[in-house]
Chain A
Amino acid sequence: MTIQQVFFLAVAAITLFAAVMVVSTRRIMHAALWLILALFGVAVSFALLETGFFAVVQVVVYIGAIAILIIFAVMLTRQVFLDVGPQLNRGWWIPAVLVAGLYAALVGVLSTWSGFQTQAAALPEAASDLSQFGLALVDVNAYAVPFEVASVLLLGALVGAIFVASDRKGVER
C-alpha cells in the first residue's frame, strides 16, 4: 500500500466515525461539531482526488458557513440541549435491514464493474483546471447564464433571509 492509500483509509475511517457520531451522540451541539469533522474529512477526500477547488468550497461554504448556520440554528431553537428519551423507536430494524440490503446490493453490483480493475487515466495538469473553470464560467456558450442566474438566486436568498428575520411592525408575534 502506498502512503496515499494509507492516508485515504485513515481519512475515510475518521469521516465515517464522525458521521456515525453525528447521529448517535445525545448532545445536539456535539452532533453539530462532529458534523464539522465529517465535512472536513470529505474536504480532505476532495483534496486526495486532486480537486482542490472542491476542497476549498467544502471548507469555505460547508464548514465555514453551513456549519455555523447549523450551530446558530441549534442555539436559536433548542431550550434543552440534551436529548432525553430513547434514540431508537420500535421499528428501527426495518430501515436497518433495508439499508444493509441496499449496501450489499451496491457492493455486489459494483464489484462486477470493470472500473475497479482498470487504472484511471492520468488527470490533466491540476493548476489549469481552475482557470478553465473560470473561463467556462463567463463563456456565453458554457456557464455564463447560470453564473448570472446564481447572483439572482443569492439576491433572492438575501432578501428572503432579511424578510424572515426582520421585525415586521403591526404583525402579531
Chain B
Amino acid sequence: MLIEYVPLIIITTLAVILAILVVILGALFGPRRPTARKSAPYESGMTPFGAAQRRITVRYYLVAMLFILFDVETIFFLPWAVAFRQLGLFGLIEMFIFIGVLIVGYIYAWKKGALEWE
C-alpha cells in the first residue's frame, strides 16, 4: 500500500523545508558587507587563478564504474535476501556462484591497482 511511503514523504518534506529554511534564515539575518576579496571564490585562502571548471582526472570514471557495478550487484541481493528463508541451500549455493564470479572481477580490480588512488 501507498501508506508505507508516508514516512518517506514526511522525511523528504522535512529535509526540503529545512534546506530552504536555512538558506532563507541566512539571507535574512546574516550581515552582508561584501568586498572584492570576500566575494572571490574560496580557494584555501589563496588568490584564485584560472577557471574553476576544469577537466577532472580519469580516475573518477573508474570509481564511478566500479560503484555502478557493485550497485547492480546489491540490487540482485535484495530479492534474494527477502526470499532467503524459503530458498534453502540451493539458493545459497547459487548466490555464492554469483558472488564468486564477481569476486574474480574484484581481485582483478585490486591487482590492477584500480582501487588505489596514487
Contacts and interface: CB of A to CB of B under 8 A. Distances in A.
Interface in B8-41: none
Interface residues of B, number: 51
Contacts of B68: 61, 65-66, 68-69
Contacts of A161: 61-62, 65-66, 69
Interface in B104-118: 104-106, 108-109, 112-114
B109 A65 contact: no
Q: How large is the interface on A (under 10, 10 to 19, 20 to 34, 35 or more residues)?
A: 35 or more
B53 A137 contact: no
Interface stretch (A14-22, A94-102, A128-136): A128-136
Contacts of B109: 158, 162
A162 B62 CA distance: 7
B112 A65 contact: no
Q: Which of A64, A150, A151, A154 has the most CB of B within 10 A?
A: A151
B78 A165 contact: no
A155 interface: yes
B81 A134 contact: yes
B105 A131 contact: no
A131 B101 contact: no
13 contacts: A56-B78, A65-B71, A69-B68, A72-B64, A73-B61, A75-B60, A126-B1, A131-B83, A134-B82, A154-B69, A155-B102, A161-B61, A165-B62
Interface of B: 1-2, 4-5, 53-56, 58-62, 64-69, 71-76, 78-84, 86-87, 90-91, 94-95, 97-99, 101-102, 104-106, 108-109, 112-114
Given A60-B74, A151-B99, 16 more contacts: A50-B1, A60-B71, A65-B72, A130-B83, A132-B83, A133-B83, A135-B83, A137-B79, A147-B76, A154-B69, A155-B104, A158-B108, A161-B69, A165-B62, A165-B65, A165-B114
